[in-house]
């Protein structure tokens, strides 16, 4: 067997970087004799039309597929790391040294299983750190991903570089395992009220395959009141059920997100809502007629406006007709409150429109 062929076969079979010490032992020759052989192989692969290349990682050499062909053959390669596990590994690599408990807070309890397997594969080392552990990558991690060294700054730089080549900021998020708040379309404006930028708008009630994939990166999901059981069929993280029919509902919704919101933006939004509520209460003060709410939602709007209630009062109902229990709640109503016809409005505009319907309807009846 020729030395050149043995070294070439070793680089092909290894699947990771080999240093000159290992290669020299294989052929039984000193490193200074092996180096020219490796360099000659590198030159040969670099000069010919080949999908394979040999990289010098600093006295360590790796044979790999050339970058421009990786996307073409990726589906043929062994899937050694699942997407969620790769996100966990990427987060450790980017933030190392990273406290294990902090990683679990960000990635969820599944991170424990990821860490255990990554340690078994030799990609991650966990060093005791008080009652938890400190995580960092290993030289094998650098070899596996074709990095010149396991230096944390070099690793971080490489991750950012790869993410930019893939898909800009979204690529970086994927590499870092960064997780988002998920909101249904109706609650997107709530994110603006709270000053939250790390979120994804998703139809969590009936998600597509793509949306199911996005849900893997969602650590907190915001849905309408009463839908937790439905979305829990395909989402296992924290579910926050919110109402959005009254000014008080908006205040409560914002307060439920205070721990992840921008404090200045929260204060500004709460002040705006308080001013708007005071304005509508003032409008309602001149109304003398008493009302009869047809549903719990209407009762909360009436309470928001501080209107009088009577069993013989003016019947106010939502405009959706039949409730989820099959009860006709709109028939015979004197005033209908708009519900699902305001999809393009933000939450505050939706609340105002509902309150307008009550006040304007009552004024017309009083003037009649």
- How many domains would you assign to the chain? 4
| pLDDT of 321 | 65
| pLDDT of 122 | 85
Residues 343 and 303 in one domain: yes
Give me the half-sphere count of Cα atoms (radius 13 Å) on the Cβ side of residue 17: 21
My answer on whether omega of the bond before 110 falls inside 30° of 0, hence cis, is: no
Give me the half-sphere count of Cα atoms (radius 13 Å) on the Cβ side of residue 221: 28
- Point out the domain boundary residue: 159, 176, 193: 176
| pLDDT of 234 | 84
Structure tokens at 184: 């249904």
Residues 189 and 159 in one domain: no
| pLDDT of 48 | 83
Residues 132 and 159 in one domain: yes
Element (H, E) at 126: strand 124-129
| pLDDT of 84 | 72
On whether residue 265 sits in a domain, the answer given is no
Residues of the chain where predicted confidence (pLDDT) is lower than 70: 1, 15, 71, 73-83, 160-179, 321-330, 340-343, 368
Q: Is 59 left (phi over 0), alpha (psi -120 to 50) or beta?
A: left
Q: What's the CATH code of the domain at 33?
A: 1.10.10.10
On whether residue 268 sits in a domain, the answer given is no
On whether residue 264 sits in a domain, the answer given is no
CB atoms within 10 A of CB 163: 20
Residues 108 and 167 in one domain: yes
The answer to whether the beta carbons of residues 353 and 340 sit under 8 Å apart is: no
| pLDDT of 79 | 47
On whether residue 225 sits in a domain, the answer given is yes
On whether residue 282 sits in a domain, the answer given is yes
Residues 118 and 137 in one domain: yes
Residues 97 and 68 in one domain: no
Residues 284 and 363 in one domain: yes
For the stretch 30-63, pLDDT in tens is 988 999 999 999 999 888 888 888 888 877 888 8
Residues 172 and 89 in one domain: yes
Structure tokens at 76: 């043929």
Residues 195 and 172 in one domain: no
| pLDDT of 267 | 93
On whether residue 252 sits in a domain, the answer given is no
Residues 161 and 191 in one domain: no
For the stretch 314-346, pLDDT in tens is 999 888 766 555 556 667 788 998 876 555 788
- Point out the domain boundary residue: 132, 154, 176: 176
On whether residue 254 sits in a domain, the answer given is no
Is this model's pTM higher than 0.75 or not? no
On whether residue 248 sits in a domain, the answer given is no
Give the Cα separation of 130 and 103 in Å (integer): 15
Structure tokens at 207: 């998600």
Domain carrying residue 344 = 277-367
Pairing state between β 124-129 and 132-137: antiparallel
Residues 66 and 120 in one domain: no
Residues 126 and 150 in one domain: yes
| pLDDT of 345 | 80
| pLDDT of 172 | 45
| pLDDT of 171 | 45
- Point out the domain boundary residue: 195, 220, 242: 242
């Amino acid at each position: 067997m020729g030395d050149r062929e043995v070294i070439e076969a070793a680089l092909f079979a290894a699947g990771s970087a080999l240093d000159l010490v290992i290669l020299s032992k294989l052929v039984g020759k000193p490193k200074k004799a092996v180096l020219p052989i490796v360099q000659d192989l590198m030159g040969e692969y670099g000069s010919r039309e080949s999908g394979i290349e040999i990289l010098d990682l600093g006295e360590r050499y790796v044979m790999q597929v050339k970058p421009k062909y990786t996307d073409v053959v990726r589906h043929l390669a062994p899937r050694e790391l699942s997407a969620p596990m790769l996100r966990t590994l990427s987060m450790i690599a980017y933030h190392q040294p990273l406290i294990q408990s902090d990683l679990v807070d960000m990635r969820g309890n599944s991170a424990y299983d990821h860490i255990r397997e990554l340690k078994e594969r030799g990609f991650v080392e966990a060093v005791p750190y008080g009652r938890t552990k400190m995580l960092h990558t290993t030289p094998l991690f650098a070899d596996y991903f074709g990095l010149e060294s396991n230096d944390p700054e070099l690793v971080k730089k490489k991750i950012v570089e790869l993410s930019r080549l893939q898909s800009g900021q979204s690529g970086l998020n994927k590499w870092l395992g960064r997780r988002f708040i998920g909101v249904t379309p109706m609650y997107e404006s709530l994110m603006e009220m709270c000053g939250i930028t790390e979120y994804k708008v998703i139809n969590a009630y009936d998600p597509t395959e793509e949306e199911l994939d996005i849900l893997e990166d969602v650590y907190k999901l915001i849905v309408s009141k009463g839908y937790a059981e439905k979305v829990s069929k395909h989402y296992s993280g924290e579910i926050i059920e919110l109402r959005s029919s009254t000014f008080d509902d908006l205040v409560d919704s914002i307060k439920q997100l205070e721990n992840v919101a921008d404090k200045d933006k929260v204060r500004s939004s709460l002040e705006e809502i308080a001013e708007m509520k005071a304005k509508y209460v003032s409008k309602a003060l001149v109304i003398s007629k008493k009302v009869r709410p047809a549903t719990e939602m209407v009762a909360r709007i009436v309470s928001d406006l501080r209107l009088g209630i009577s069993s013989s009062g003016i019947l106010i109902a939502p405009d959706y007709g039949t409730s989820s229990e099959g009860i006709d709640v709109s028939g015979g109503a004197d005033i209908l409150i708009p519900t699902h016809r305001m999809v393009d409005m933000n939450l505050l505009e939706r609340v105002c429109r509902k309150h307008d319907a009550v006040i304007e309807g009552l004024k017309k009846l009083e003037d009649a």
